[in-house]
Structure 1
């Protein structure tokens, strides 16, 4: 490897001097540390095990846990505890009490498994669907068939009922016949002419039950569109919790995965109240894939009603209930058939999730195709739905269920986790929850109890000794990202009616797993992507948010606690509510800047469509556009309105500045605090960055802060630019302040390097912990992975920590610092120099500063390397050792097929290539 490329621009330098009193890092709270989803398998927990695991998590740098009870391990049924039973509540109280002592937080799911539901969900409150049957009838024909439900699974239910009966002739004339059907299904109606088709719509049940339910948690999933169902469901928690919240910080609801739920018992009445007309004459257009304009309008109204029902009847009620317990609530809105922005905004902590792994261009980052799911790739713009809602409404925390199925089980290393975490942060999210950690009783052997979906953030993981490196990085980063408030300057309207107006399908669920269908093909998404890469900072806004927005010093603000925006962009769309256009023009009248990508020409929905469309057109014509170069512009009241197909030209015209630092390939997210701004900057390119980068705000003083190790110092600035040195894969926080503090030492930039010393002397290799057995110690004449020694079977099956030790004679020590650089590391390591802990190497680039631990003459260097769990699991499967035996789904691989590691290749473990000690000199 080219040494020049490895270390020339290293940022792992540190500021020298007594500057602890002026430390710019925000105070670390429990929320700044990473949290983890904590699965209680079978809820088979006890006080001894809870105490042990919480203490272990605390020592590893976790700030809290999120309890989710799920199915259990076979053979332990006698230790299961029923969900919300007095014994379960006793274990919960012990957990929160212990966590409080450890200064950790505790959240819990309002249900077991997912989606929410359980034994308290009666048939009446269960997820509901429409069932449509059609019949043909000839003129003057006595219709003899009974209109009764044919579905055998639904027949025995007490809540099924006939809701709508409508007949259509060949001219599409409709007659509602609901009141002409007797209780036994007899139709008392006979057409006089023409051929008719009857649509009979019944209210049925999806019959879906909770997935991965825990003991005491099995039952129907909830009807999210019914306020009574929501209130009935939460009564069970009122009974269990009484007047206490048992120390729960936030009650959590997982993603909406209720399949086929497209109706609720009083939907007709709610529809008429909200949309202004009776749905019954138009039921045909709702249930058929009809390409007509009528079908699109009816379906748009139906989908909008569904969205309002889940918002008002479930989400808002859930929030109010959590507040009644003096707790917060956390909700994953994605997957639901509702406006994600409004749903996220209606809770205390909006939560997104990531699934799968991203392809980054970071030098040396391994990505084994056979160990990943190439169909699922996290998308930063999908994540922004949650952060946008929070930023606009002033929520301080935006959480994320992170790293689900990052790779195959037991094959994820911490250097893969870091860039995924960084991408989450770059989306504006600031509260990461690992997915996840499984409770394991103290007497269960390796690998302990495990959840079926990776990643395995468990103490039994052989990489656990070095997880503090990852956790500390996240802690420092989140301490900054949870400070102040978002500093995004652009609002972009989400044209959801373009989704709702599609004549295809019925309900529209906005899932993370199908964004290639509903999000990525849209002009809205293309604008988000392009503008983000160009250096603009954006949040997305809904119609509801626009209706609530006001002007503050010519900036758009929805909430006093939320963000303040310089411009509102209306991307290319087909449908826009006339009321939304009116609200937009009111904002402009009061001083807002607006950019339209095209003229909105149509309104969604059916009620008074012609009248509303004419109103839309009248409003549009009231804008006095004039041609100005590449754009059309208009002064409208105190504000400006721009019309251009090229949004960036519109932003230029309005003098909205982008951050030009993205021209280098760097990514950033920006926050403002009283007296300045933070820039969190990440280098996900394959190249080193060693240059001055421009910033839109530098203030009077700029400090550089390294989230990897906590170092900081005053940066060199010149003409609104800041000098940075970032290798591929590194990140940096820039703190630009309006005041200067001369007591803080300067940042130490690398000026030059001396010839490196290659540690090619003999090494001793021994093993300190792991299994199934410790391999024998050996002397190495050449540095290499311990898995190279194929003649020793124990090296092929071992997962744990191996210790590489050597002596180094340093003839002179005349550099400012020394960098220990690793060619290849499988997978993370603790470095000990002369008996002193020099730190953890866990992410790219694999290097660490060790100068302050070295001395002239003889030095002893120990490198304690921890490898993956994979080789030991491979050994166990090859020898048919039982380690996975669970109820429900048991244990599956990344393709959701039965897991079997017996045919895996041995994963390289230890050190490979060269290790070099590089003398470095800082600029004076």
Structure 2
């Protein structure tokens, strides 16, 4: 044991020297190249440092930063949130952007410099996205708007065209178009006013005909709503306005009747995939032209999906909430609101069955009459015979603001306009640089950050017309009616135009917003960090990461409705394909704090996300507390995690921070080892592919159990709900990230997008390598799925690149062959030729013994999906990791990550369950000696038992509850087997520690003044004394024991059950902190013969004190926080204290 400790001390000294030598340049490490070496600084966790409600103090800022330094935090993302509360929390609030506010920022920078901390700042006040009071409507995010007017032709028309909507009188013209319309297209429920009834028979629902009426119809029970017309009415489209989230309103079943008694079902509406910020636009559903007198909209819950990030409204308890159901005879492009880029939605393309060409406006009949309208909107035009619709198009601001800000709140900047983006950068981050001055900024202000995209989407800008022409080669203005849902020429033509629109929107956001910000960050010598654009801004959800130094996702604690598994995979896959070395995560965000959070609770969740591919956390959230005498003090209202200086366990919690730093150091080494890359598809918006969406295409690697579970989950019978956290009821069948820790049973996968595929992918030694990013053994092109409903469409350039890579030696797994292109001016014949060459061998491909249908193309091969075999060994690749229990079975709750550098293969293993578990683990490594590294204890030690079998290294591993371990293959060896004992320590009990205990609570935290004597350990929450029962804080247990064992050895103090974290001293010497299973510390070096003094400081959470305070009059309470504590009322106090049994154990090996 002594030799291991000596080695560890030497390693620590070398590690410290490395960190010191790197100094402030650590953040300037290069991207994923062989010369990147992680350091202590690059691997330290950071925090979100929120400054709330314009309430700050210099002494609070200093105290915050000193607490961060003490805890081992590397830096802070300084972000100001909201303006003054009502009433203000301080007599003189400090408004963001004011001179006094920037003085506070300067103080923070000076203190950070003094303490050796680094800071990041956001793009604006608040955390979403980039805006401020300096952004005028002209510089803001913008959208296309229009009005339409019916005119009768055959003579000169002189008519005033209504101006489309404007924001703060900002409106600019685009064009005016006229086209002939049929009389049968002009009817609607708004003009015909049908009688509206429902299955309950006790309500008048005529208000559903009028947008202006604020009433709504709502029910939790199955029901129907009926529109009865006086004469038969032909319906071609239905517009629905909901009240809040109502997934059910967009999946109504439609039945019609001619007599009101005999109904026939026509269709069921299909909701598009959509995100959480979905309220900017209504939904328009196109249906086959249907003529009837009675239209019945039937709400039934059968077939209800369980909800997801891309079907947000379906997460909640099924209910129908609707404000408007508007029927129209006008042909309309299905879900044009999303297809026009106005809002983040994904839906299938319209087809000629629903939208025949006869109901589309021929392009040769679309007349541009812009020059016939004067500046005041008066149209004078010699209109040809017939009835014409005149549409006046313009653009205005979307009105979105950086609404989470305060004193510097204003409009969101135009994401298409590079000059406006530069202006925004200068107004906020530029001011931060000027406030610091060059010398201080260089040392402290290291990261420029974009956080949550909460500003909706945009589909126009003063620069967009020229951007579109430059990128697509034609003028989108010539086809503007398609953006208003008017079908032009055919369903196919309309969809192609709209695809080109969305593609251009995505490209311009990438280049002119993110690309511009990258250039500004680089010019100012700071790194660029960003979270996700999806599911809010219409774009490729991963492409912006090519401009980002630190791609960032987010994961949530105990908040399944708000957890972001797709955000995580977007950032991780985006980081991998674009070669980023550090991939961050906003860690442990919590929808509702229960004040019961502690490090041991957090470990498995953090480890799961490390296994996914994250290698740096920034904890959410450290809120600036301006008061030194109020605890818990300032918070982000009820949102957590409460991770700040007044947390009860802040000081011992450093053990968790140290653990995270050590894990992150290991996981920043080299490159990730990922076996498969899955194509996201070309439709837009797009995201990375979630593991549950892969099951239909890779059922074999997913496994029979997972297939059966997914079938039941998707069936969602009876729509079960659950409540997590308290008060938040939602679908129980949502996919939980915890169920997908090893989705392909030993293989990891990434997603890749069109941009990286075209610009970076190449074949090296049979693998597909993405530039300086990750290499993959296989590419997977799955078929149709929820987020890619048009999967059988492929651009010529993607098809040609795919063929090229296969010919050069790539292996690809494919679904059905493409049947067409996506854009308006693509060459179908070129696609057909490529497809023919790539799929030509399918008919003659062999398929024997359950092997997939496979055929050769050039040096590579094509494999037909779905892939049914349990592993990919049949096509040349064994699993990276196989973990089986003592019965040879795989279990749930195992997670792993694999990194490879020039000298090491680093495997991270995680037990995701709260019980000790043992596996035999086989690694796809040979010829290297394995060692273990325990990041909790910061100890490396040899593997006692291992062997090589068929080119793999096999070794047994035992992990404690929620335990983790690194297996590192570093030294070459010719040995094929080693058997020197078990790979985990075993223990023998030497003696219990059962003497009476003296327990001292802290009177400053309302604990009793007198020292408590305990003859047996007991739960504080069961004590008769309220000052103990409701105590929150640290209590120090003291006792003594005799030690007479003279043999050298390794001895551990096992604490048994602890609620919630404990630090141990023996004879005055610190022996460590027990914060996670198995809750034991090494006391070998502190023991002495004879009497030994034992001191255990145990800290619980804030929950008990808050629960107790809520029983007291407000003036008598100890806790003081701005958070609403109502949800804690009536709860019983939680188990707390040292519960034992406490024992001394001797390690047997």
TM-score (norm 2): 0.69
Within 2, Cα distance between the matches of 1:600 and 1:425? 37
Report the equivalent of 1:836. 1069
Aligned residue among 827, 849, 857 for 2:1082: 849
Aligned residue among 54, 64, 70 for 2:75: 64
- The answer to whether 1:337 aligns with 2:538 is yes
Aligned residue among 302, 311, 333 for 2:510: 311
Aligned residue among 925, 930, 942 for 1:702: 930
Report the equivalent of 2:1131. 905
Question: How much has 1:279 moved relative to structure 2?
Answer: 3.3
Question: How much has 1:873 moved relative to structure 2?
Answer: 3.1
Q: Which runs of 5+ in 1 are unaligned?
A: 1-12, 358-372, 501-507, 893-897
Within 1, Cα distance between the matches of 2:969 and 2:102? 48
Secondary structure of the corresponding residue to residue 241 of structure 1: helix
8 Å contact from structure 1 (residues 801, 866) kept in 2: yes
Report the equivalent of 1:258. 455
Report the equivalent of 1:638. 859
Report the equivalent of 2:821. 603
Report the equivalent of 1:414. 599
Superposition pairs of residues 740-779 of structure 1, within 5 angstroms = 749-750=983-984, 752-754=986-988, 757-768=991-1002, 770-774=1004-1008, 776-779=1010-1013
Superposition pairs of residues 218-233 of structure 1, within 5 angstroms = 218-233=409-424
Within 1, Cα distance between the matches of 2:675 and 2:632? 48
8 Å contact from structure 2 (residues 178, 388) kept in 1: no
Within 2, Cα distance between the matches of 1:882 and 1:224? 52
List per-residue Cα deviations over 1:766-802 (Å, max 9, x = no partner).
213652454643222332222212x423234432112
Question: How much has 1:759 moved relative to structure 2?
Answer: 4.4
8 Å contact from structure 1 (residues 30, 103) kept in 2: no
Within 2, Cα distance between the matches of 1:135 and 1:908? 67
Superposition pairs of residues 499-518 of structure 1, within 5 angstroms = 500=684, 508=685
Secondary structure of the corresponding residue to residue 138 of structure 2: coil
List per-residue Cα deviations over 1:324-375 (Å, max 9, x = no partner).
0011111113333211221112211111112343xxxxxxxxxxxxxxx442
Secondary structure of the corresponding residue to residue 106 of structure 1: strand
Report the equivalent of 2:963. 730
Question: How much has 1:653 moved relative to structure 2?
Answer: 3.3
8 Å contact from structure 2 (residues 47, 622) kept in 1: yes
Question: How much has 1:603 moved relative to structure 2?
Answer: 2.1
- The answer to whether 1:273 aligns with 2:463 is no
Query: 1:137 and 1:111, CA in 2 relative to 1: closer, same or farther beyond 3 A?
Result: same
Question: How much has 1:50 moved relative to structure 2?
Answer: 3.2
Aligned residue among 1022, 1034, 1037 for 1:788: 1022
Within 1, Cα distance between the matches of 2:837 and 2:1117? 68
8 Å contact from structure 1 (residues 633, 643) kept in 2: yes
8 Å contact from structure 1 (residues 556, 565) kept in 2: yes
List per-residue Cα deviations over 1:832-859 (Å, max 9, x = no partner).
2332222112223333333443445544
Within 1, Cα distance between the matches of 2:612 and 2:159? 58
Report the equivalent of 1:20. 8
Report the equivalent of 2:25. none
List per-residue Cα deviations over 1:702-752 (Å, max 9, x = no partner).
11000101011111321211332212200001110143699xx99984464
- The answer to whether 1:134 aligns with 2:148 is yes
Query: 1:796 and 1:249, CA in 2 relative to 1: closer, same or farther beyond 3 A?
Result: same
Query: 1:382 and 1:443, CA in 2 relative to 1: closer, same or farther beyond 3 A?
Result: closer
Secondary structure of the corresponding residue to residue 345 of structure 1: helix
- 314-323 or 628-637: bigger deviation: 628-637
Query: 1:534 and 1:519, CA in 2 relative to 1: closer, same or farther beyond 3 A?
Result: closer
- The answer to whether 1:558 aligns with 2:770 is yes
Query: 1:261 and 1:461, CA in 2 relative to 1: closer, same or farther beyond 3 A?
Result: same
- The answer to whether 1:326 aligns with 2:326 is no
8 Å contact from structure 1 (residues 331, 347) kept in 2: yes
Within 1, Cα distance between the matches of 2:1102 and 2:1072? 22
Question: How much has 1:876 moved relative to structure 2?
Answer: 4.6
List per-residue Cα deviations over 1:610-649 (Å, max 9, x = no partner).
4465355445455677423233333333322322321757
Query: 1:43 and 1:203, CA in 2 relative to 1: closer, same or farther beyond 3 A?
Result: same
Within 1, Cα distance between the matches of 2:7 and 2:1049? 18
Question: How much has 1:401 moved relative to structure 2?
Answer: 1.2
8 Å contact from structure 2 (residues 177, 392) kept in 1: yes
Aligned residue among 795, 803, 816 for 1:577: 795
Report the equivalent of 2:179. 167
Within 2, Cα distance between the matches of 1:294 and 1:844? 62
Secondary structure of the corresponding residue to residue 534 of structure 1: coil
- The answer to whether 1:180 aligns with 2:372 is yes
Question: How much has 1:133 moved relative to structure 2?
Answer: 2.8
- The answer to whether 1:491 aligns with 2:677 is yes
Within 2, Cα distance between the matches of 1:534 and 1:46? 52
Question: How much has 1:815 moved relative to structure 2?
Answer: 8.7
Aligned residues: 868
Question: How much has 1:218 moved relative to structure 2?
Answer: 1.7
Within 1, Cα distance between the matches of 2:994 and 2:157? 94
Within 2, Cα distance between the matches of 1:536 and 1:857? 55
Within 1, Cα distance between the matches of 2:741 and 2:1077? 28
Query: 1:491 and 1:96, CA in 2 relative to 1: closer, same or farther beyond 3 A?
Result: same
Question: How much has 1:224 moved relative to structure 2?
Answer: 1.2
Report the equivalent of 1:370. none
List per-residue Cα deviations over 1:476-495 (Å, max 9, x = no partner).
00111112222223222211
List per-residue Cα deviations over 1:794-833 (Å, max 9, x = no partner).
2344321122333334565769444444443222111223
8 Å contact from structure 2 (residues 1020, 1031) kept in 1: no
Superposition pairs of residues 396-411 of structure 1, within 5 angstroms = 396-405=581-590, 407-411=592-596
Query: 1:14 and 1:313, CA in 2 relative to 1: closer, same or farther beyond 3 A?
Result: farther
Superposition pairs of residues 609-628 of structure 1, within 5 angstroms = 610-611=828-829, 613-615=831-833, 617-621=835-839, 626-628=844-846
Within 1, Cα distance between the matches of 2:465 and 2:792? 27
Secondary structure of the corresponding residue to residue 667 of structure 1: strand
Within 1, Cα distance between the matches of 2:980 and 2:504? 59
Secondary structure of the corresponding residue to residue 843 of structure 1: coil
8 Å contact from structure 1 (residues 256, 333) kept in 2: yes
8 Å contact from structure 2 (residues 48, 77) kept in 1: yes
Report the equivalent of 1:9. none
Report the equivalent of 2:1113. 879
8 Å contact from structure 1 (residues 760, 914) kept in 2: no
8 Å contact from structure 1 (residues 787, 908) kept in 2: yes
Query: 1:144 and 1:289, CA in 2 relative to 1: closer, same or farther beyond 3 A?
Result: closer
Superposition pairs of residues 37-436 of structure 1, within 5 angstroms = 37-41=48-52, 45=56, 47-71=58-82, 75=88, 80-81=93-94, 83=96, 88-113=101-126, 114-140=128-154, 146-149=160-163, 151=165, 154=166, 156-163=168-175, 165-167=177-179, 169-170=181-182, 171-173=359-361, 174-189=366-381, 191-215=383-407, 217-236=408-427, 237-238=429-430, 241-242=433-434, 244=438, 245-246=441-442, 247-259=444-456, 261-280=458-477, 282-288=479-485, 292-335=491-534, 336-357=537-558, 373-379=559-565, 382-405=567-590, 407-436=592-621
Query: 1:79 and 1:319, CA in 2 relative to 1: closer, same or farther beyond 3 A?
Result: farther
Query: 1:375 and 1:520, CA in 2 relative to 1: closer, same or farther beyond 3 A?
Result: farther
Within 1, Cα distance between the matches of 2:868 and 2:520? 43
Report the equivalent of 1:863. 1096
Report the equivalent of 2:940. 712
Within 2, Cα distance between the matches of 1:530 and 1:651? 19
TM-score (norm 1): 0.85
CA RMSD of aligned residues (A): 3.7
Query: 1:198 and 1:872, CA in 2 relative to 1: closer, same or farther beyond 3 A?
Result: farther
Report the equivalent of 1:30. 41
Query: 1:602 and 1:813, CA in 2 relative to 1: closer, same or farther beyond 3 A?
Result: farther
Within 1, Cα distance between the matches of 2:148 and 2:883? 58
- The answer to whether 1:658 aligns with 2:879 is yes
8 Å contact from structure 1 (residues 713, 747) kept in 2: no
Query: 1:622 and 1:92, CA in 2 relative to 1: closer, same or farther beyond 3 A?
Result: farther
List per-residue Cα deviations over 1:524-551 (Å, max 9, x = no partner).
8989969743111222211111112223
